[in-house]
């Protein structure tokens, strides 16, 4: 299981891109940290999530 924003999710084995495609997140409006390190945008398609990974997905909304 992978912990995504504190919630256990069955996402091990999926790439970051594959996991995001299963969610409501807009990939142009997010930043993703995996185990405390930024996942480069260019690496979403090749970064495979593993059991016990901690994923933090920050989704930006407009206004400033």
Binding region for another protein (CB under 8 A) = 28-31, 33, 36-38, 40-41, 56, 58-64
CB 49, min distance to another protein, A:
17
9 vs 23: CA distance, rounded Å: 11
Judged by beta carbon, residue 13 or residue 59, the one nearer another protein is 59
Query: What's the closest the beta carbon of residue 23 comes to another protein, in angstroms?
Result: 15
**Owner of token pair 């480069």:** 40
Residue 21's contacts (CB-CB under 8 Å, 6 or more residues apart) are none
Taking the C-alpha atoms of residue 24 and residue 14, their distance in angstroms, rounded to an integer, is 16
CB of 58 to another protein, least distance (A): 6
């Amino acid at each position: 299981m992978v912990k995504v924003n504190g919630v256990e999710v069955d996402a091990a084995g999926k790439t970051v891109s594959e996991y995001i495609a299963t969610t409501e997140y807009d990939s142009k409006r997010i930043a993703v940290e995996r185990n405390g390190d930024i996942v480069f945008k260019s690496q979403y398609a090749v970064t495979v999530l593993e059991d016990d990974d901690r994923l933090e997905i920050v989704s930006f909304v407009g206004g400033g």
